Structure 1
């Protein structure tokens, strides 16, 4: 009987693996790895499911099911989103659909004590796709203009005169454009992906603690990328354009991303430490 349950439970997961593989293959065959963020969507989906591997294993071998009705609705919704992403095609819809389908499978097939795992898979996918990609893209042009303006004023007030027009900075014989990648958009998605995983794998936190940390991802990404823009302008001014646009340009992106992670971890540690002392061990 247990072997029969295992075989029945494995079938929808085999279909899930097939859907994931087809989406990944279709994407790589068309675009390759030219975009640094979109392939990360597939990697993040895999990592989230790996984190919740115990719930997936439990769905193979559990003697009881979870919430099949809720799981069925999640599966239907996830399939609709996934198919819509295939038809248009929109890779973000495909990935979101895969997250929701995975959530529905755990919700339906795993025992009830794994309901939090099912919720985490669905919420993680929604946060990463909606907040990490769609919302920032809607704001990208305004953020780039804002970074150009702030950088211009800060540099003019402290080091050397800088003017701006839209997203372009002018200083001496040089000009620099605050492109999409420098406005914080790429960092926002990457930080969200890592912070969601970090929050799940780390110490227990209250809901408000998690909400605050996720909400801080966007301002932290923007501030650290402001530092990136300023540093690139300074390097260009003192050492020339070829230095700023060479290896330092790529290295600066990595550095500010690491700094952003350190900021996020430091804020998390401070919040946890303060409220642990004031709330008798930070009990749930």
Structure 2
């Protein structure tokens, strides 16, 4: 292990850093290019897993964003190959198993221990701890088994359909519901996985967690509440999208509802969710400031 440690320290010296990262990047590209090629031309091309590319590219950016912060926090490279190599080897074995057996949860999931092992080998445990959220972020890239997605999606679709029906009925629209099938006027709309499934929930949860980490709130309560409230925010955004699609279909016909405006409703979903996240964060900030002021007033009264 001392030999590996010397190699890692040699690679992380200032004059060798660029060559080290180029070699690592080329190695990762060779290993994982076929996997992500298959994902982009297969699973990620479906509506159910449309969140995959978004989360993947945001993950890459976030790793870059956090690594650039290392000098500002005074974190230096202290290679820890004793732990890094076993984790890296484990990750590669998981990749081989996943690739050979076509198990995407292993094949894609192996990227997390592989990157963690490389980080420990060449940068050390302090850097790995600093990047913990980036590694957690990558978990959202891993495709879940179909039975998990189906089990979680059905209640969400039912809830979105129920809310849409009652809101539009209250607005005097001729709407009825059978399960996840909405009938508005002469049109029928099936609330599909893409309109009320885990893809939007995952994407919005990821973007919300990213927002929290980038803004770097110091209040644990504020962070926790925002992370929890992203789930109802996702639900509200999904209901908004289905309502928009139902109204488009009712007023302009089925062709409009299933064409360009269907895709545009997805943009409406994320804009709605982003505005709700920012508004919720603002409300939590006001409540947090009031709570701090009340605590300070109470402590000052006790001192008097």
Say if 2:231 is the partner of 1:218: yes
Say if 2:182 is the partner of 1:169: yes
Cα distance change of structure 1 residues 152 and 105 upon mapping to structure 2, 3 Å threshold: same
**Alignment check: 8 A CA contact 1:137 1:185 kept:** no
Cα distance change of structure 1 residues 17 and 261 upon mapping to structure 2, 3 Å threshold: same
Decide which of 39, 43, 57 is 2:57's aligned counterpart.
Answer: 43
Q: Which residue of 1 aligns with 2:11?
A: 5
| Aligned equivalents of 2:205, 2:170: Cα separation in 1 | 33
**Alignment check: 8 A CA contact 2:56 2:141 kept:** no
**Alignment check: 8 A CA contact 1:103 1:118 kept:** no
**Alignment check: 8 A CA contact 2:237 2:272 kept:** yes
Q: When the two structures are superposed, what TM-score results if normalisation uses the length of structure 2?
A: 0.74
State the secondary structure of the residue aligned to 1:52: helix
Q: Which residue of 2 aligns with 1:238?
A: 251
**Alignment check: 8 A CA contact 2:11 2:122 kept:** no
**Alignment check: 8 A CA contact 1:81 1:97 kept:** yes
List aligned pairs for 1:52-67, cutoff 5 A.
52-54=66-68, 64-65=78-79, 67=80
State the secondary structure of the residue aligned to 1:220: helix
Decide which of 83, 88, 99 is 1:86's aligned counterpart.
Answer: 99
Offset at 1:86? 1.6
Cα distance change of structure 1 residues 63 and 159 upon mapping to structure 2, 3 Å threshold: closer
State the secondary structure of the residue aligned to 1:176: strand
Question: What do residues 217-247 of structure 1 show as CA deviations (whole Å, max 9, x unaligned)?
Answer: 3321121111121222223223332332232
**Alignment check: 8 A CA contact 1:56 1:110 kept:** no
Offset at 1:178? 0.5
State the secondary structure of the residue aligned to 2:169: helix
| Aligned equivalents of 1:5, 1:97: Cα separation in 2 | 24
Q: When the two structures are superposed, what TM-score results if normalisation uses the length of structure 1?
A: 0.78
| Aligned equivalents of 2:26, 2:160: Cα separation in 1 | 47
State the secondary structure of the residue aligned to 1:163: strand
Unpaired stretches in structure 1, ≥5 consecutive residues? none
Question: What do residues 168-187 of structure 1 show as CA deviations (whole Å, max 9, x unaligned)?
Answer: 11133211110111114322
Q: Which residue of 1 aligns with 2:132?
A: 119
Unpaired stretches in structure 2, ≥5 consecutive residues? 1-5, 294-304
Decide which of 139, 144, 154 is 1:141's aligned counterpart.
Answer: 154
Say if 2:45 is the partner of 1:31: no
Decide which of 257, 263, 274 is 2:276's aligned counterpart.
Answer: 263
| Aligned equivalents of 1:145, 1:171: Cα separation in 2 | 16
Say if 2:21 is the partner of 1:16: no
- Higher radius of gyration, 1 or 2: 2
